[in-house]
């Protein structure tokens, strides 16, 4: 973990609710896709945890939904600087990916999968990407994944764009070597039940400190209590204890 000041280079809407924030600063603490940053917003008691969508040696990008006072205030910042904690969380492990990994994103769950796809392709892998949204108006980053060279399947619940239904309804018969997924927890049990390989889940959860001190984001796994902000947000399929 590292604290630093980042300069806002871009903060623009991708649709009516979703923003893309590009920041310049020291990203040396970020070592793998799936990690997150914690952003201090003036007037807010707690920092806002946001997944890293992309990064290089001196800049990073996050994509976030405007859902409350903190993110609404953040969305109005066109310039200036932000105090960030970077290099937080335990990101994706690329070692078991195999040649044809499957990346499954529900809603803004695509965010950490974009950097993951870039690194998998750099290693010579051929990732397949499933993106699920409620409606066409919410679709973002389809073209960005395609530009990387990923095979992309798009689903919307109402059928207004791409295939109609949930991402899990398109998975039957797919040939993949491993899977990675991020999205709402309601989607995860369905993904777990229909996947035929091992895989990794990146959990979205409210956090207090963001680095394991407050224990506020603890969850019970098959191997004891783990903190989503520290031992997570990425957990392996074999360690997750699903609620019945």
Q: pTM for the full model?
A: 0.95
The whole-angstrom separation of Cα 244 and Cα 231 is: 23
Look-up of token digits 């209590």: 225
Would you state the pLDDT for residue 244? 65
DSSP letter, residue 138:
G
pLDDT of residue 208: 73
Cis peptide before 233 (omega within 30 of 0): yes
pLDDT at 221 over 90: no
Q: What's the token pair of residue 220?
A: 């019970």
Given this model, what pLDDT does residue 205 score?
72
For β-strands 2-13 and 36-40, DSSP reports them as: unpaired
Per-residue model confidence as pLDDT tens digits over 61-70: 999 999 999 9
Show the DSSP H helices in 48-141 as ranges: 69-75, 111-122
**Which pLDDT belongs to residue 116?**
98
Q: How far is CA 200 from the centre of its chain?
A: 12
């Amino acid at each position: 973990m590292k604290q630093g000041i980042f300069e806002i280079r871009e903060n623009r809407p991708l649709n009516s609710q979703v923003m893309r924030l590009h920041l310049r600063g020291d990203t040396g603490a970020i070592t793998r896709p799936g990690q997150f940053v914690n952003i201090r917003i003036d007037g807010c008691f707690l920092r806002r945890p946001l997944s890293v969508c992309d990064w290089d040696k001196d800049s990073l990008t996050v994509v976030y939904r405007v859902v409350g006072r903190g993110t609404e205030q953040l969305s109005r910042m066109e310039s200036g600087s932000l105090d960030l904690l970077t290099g937080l969380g335990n990101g994706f492990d690329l070692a078991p990916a195999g040649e044809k990994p499957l990346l499954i994103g529900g809603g803004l769950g695509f965010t950490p999968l974009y950097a993951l796809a870039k690194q998998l392709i750099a290693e010579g892998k051929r990732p397949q990407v499933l993106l699920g949204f409620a409606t066409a108006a919410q679709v973002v980053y389809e073209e960005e994944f395609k530009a990387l060279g990923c095979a992309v399947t798009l689903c919307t619940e109402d059928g207004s764009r791409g295939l109609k239904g949930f991402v899990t309804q398109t998975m039957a018969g797919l040939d993949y070597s491993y899977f990675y997924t991020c999205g709402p927890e309601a989607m995860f049990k369905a993904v777990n039940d229909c996947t035929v390989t091992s895989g990794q889940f990146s959990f979205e959860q409210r956090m207090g400190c963001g680095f394991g001190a407050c224990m506020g984001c603890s969850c019970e796994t098959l191997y004891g209590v783990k903190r989503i902000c520290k031992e997570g947000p990425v957990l392996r399929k074999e360690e997750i204890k699903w609620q019945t």
